[in-house]
Structure 1
Amino acid sequence: MALLARILANIRGIILVTPWVLYLAVCDVLLSFLLPVKIFAPNFVYRASSRIAYSVWKWIQVIFENFNGARITFSGDRLPMKESAVVISNHVTWADFYMIQALAVRAGMLGQCRWFAKIQLRWVPFLGWGLWAMGMPMVSRNWMRDQRELQRVFGGIVGRRWPIWLISFSEATRFTPKKYEESKIWCKENDRPQPLHLLYPRTKGFITTVRQLRKAPHVKAVYDFTIAYQKKASFHIAPDMWETLKLSDLGGSQGYRFHIHARRFPLEELPHTDEELAKWLEQRWVEKGEWLDTLKTEWDKS
């Protein structure tokens, strides 16, 4: 019976996802064709790519929430409609994208989400070219080496006032128990506070982003998102990518909980020196860890 259930779940996932994958391929081709147009009509390409992105991300969001029954709960600050912002978040799993997109839908910014992506994706035919055409920052995580790429992205946001959620996972990698132990060792050796349930954040990318986007008058805030999961009694356990696409009733019989907590900080209120910005980010992560620990206690009791 268990084997049959797995087979049926996989078939269900294929049926749900195949039309979306075919549509994604068409969109990647369209975005690739827009890439040369970007040279002489960058504003047009940004608007067109945002509409295409909205349709792709909305479709996959519908699969996750509506067809597969993921019940996302929310807390924290109410986000203004259509406000451009720098977005920072912890990173647990593939499902993090759904969580952030759920908030973007509610704020009217789904099509304007832009994520820091690995530079290697640039050379993937159509997919990588499409991401580049959309204005995704393609980075190597070496911030000195990435200066030219970042100037390309920041130039459009600042100079052309493109509406945007510029999103980064400040830990730069997904949370795992092994990485958590490594983070604790690093924090002890470097006299840094180790956040609960999180990896210590990397600060250089955040500092560079804030420093540049202060120049963009339409970018009003930093949004700090804290993502939490639970499967039955196990905290910080989330479905993997294929499970989010194939399993029905994720928030019911599968026993998953999905929650995202939002905090909004006006950009003008952030400190100005690199050292102070690093401390600011560090303090946010300490607070996020405390918040996660409180949520874990609440979930354990319910």
Structure 2
Amino acid sequence: MDPKRYRGCTNVSGAVAIDANHFVVADDEDNLLGVFDSSHEQVLPPRIALSELFAGEIEDGKGCEIDLEGAAAIGDVYFWIGSHSTNKDGERRPSRHRLFALQIQRNAVGEFSGQRYGQIYRTLIDDLILDRRFKPYRLDKAVGIAPKALGGLSIEGLAATPEQSLLIGFRNPLTGGTEKNGRLQDGKALIVPLLNPLNLLQGQAAKFGDPIELDLGGYGIRDIAWRQGNEYLIVAGPYHANEDRREKHRLYLWHSNGRTDKPKRLDAELGELNIEAAFFFPGKKDRVELLSDDGDTKGFQRVSVKL
């Protein structure tokens, strides 16, 4: 791996390719999106301000961040999802309960801008709580527990499917497993299929597929990206804070046509990378792009991993 550093987005948390050379990045500490040219270090001005695109619905300021964690594209519609979590102290943050989309344009001088697509979906967790299929995951309890605590709630993965649906990946809660010394071991990660995202943002009620449970060696989902066919790349990591970095991130390939198929762990040495986002450039399905938030106050790293 040969990491490349980028400047202009500090706490990278979600990303998706725009074309073969450009990708757009979210920062989980503000409500801004930044577009990058893969061959240049600095973010391209201007950054896309969500509070301007969704005036009166998204606000800036302390406690108002969406905590953006996942991104996915269906055609020219780019979806973004908040963590749906509390803050680190377990205090509710309604601003994080957001799934929305925008379209991105480029003008004659090369500047990128965004245009909102439909409305913001705010009731994902409420709708899942009312769906009897999701009762075993105790989301009604998880929604009030700190995101990195045992049984807490944190969404970090989002991927589009060939059927124009979305897969929503949970870092927490995990299901099953056993508790030992205050930590859950051998739990399975949860994926929620959202079947009608395009129509949902145009006012249709949400439609969900059956929950999917994946064995990721006791890890939760840090990101998920569609690769090809029914195959997805999953970044897995511990559900908890992992402050000593003892538990390293892992990569898996998963075929969604076999709901009980165990994801295949890839032999990729990721070292100390704190991977927050994964995506594929169009036409480059043999390499996944990984973005790492390493605590750099000025930027982040991108590594390209051959599959």
Q: Same fold (TM over 0.5)?
A: no
Task: Please give the range of the TM-score, normalised by the shorter of the 2 chains.
Answer: under 0.3
| Higher relative contact order (Cα pairs below 8 Å, separated by 6+ residues) | 1
- Give the TM-score taking structure 2 as reference length: 0.25
Bigger helix share? 1
Bigger CA radius of gyration:
1
- Give the TM-score taking structure 1 as reference length: 0.25
